[in-house]
Amino acid sequence: MRCNAIRVVVLAATILMLAGCGGSRESRAAAACADAAKERAAGKILAVDRKALAQSAKAETESILALQAPVTLDTGLQSEYTQTLHCRVQFSGNDAKVIAVTFVF
């Protein structure tokens, strides 16, 4: 039950953050990275600071942004730990596609 409650809280927080996100390339890239990280960490409770991700965005090329920020896995559990999320996003028009996502200890 505790895991379900935590997931509901994380989902609600994610929805609220999405509602407050602007339409900048950096925020769209951060949202894409956070979604990709959650997919990659299947089965884990994951907290991603999208604002920190967006603020870290650096252009590698005109169409590729590199982002990195701390992420917390197993949020709220005794086994909670933090890693760094590295992500690269390629833009084609307004579409943001994650081309690489890596968790670094």
- In this predicted structure, what is the pLDDT of residue 69? 98
How many structural domains compose the chain? 1
- Which residues constitute the domain of residue 100? 2-104
Instruction: Please answer whether residues 73 and 84 qualify as being in contact, where contact means their C-beta atoms are separated by less than 8 angstroms.
Output: no
> What average pLDDT does the chain have?
85
pLDDT in tens, 38-74: 999 988 999 999 999 999 999 999 999 999 999 999 9
Q: What residues have CB less than 8 Å from 79, skipping those under 6 apart? A: none
- In this predicted structure, what is the pLDDT of residue 5? 41
Reported as type and span, the H/E element at residue 102 is strand 95-104
Reported as type and span, the H/E element at residue 2 is helix 2-20
- 94 vs 9, which has greater pLDDT? 94
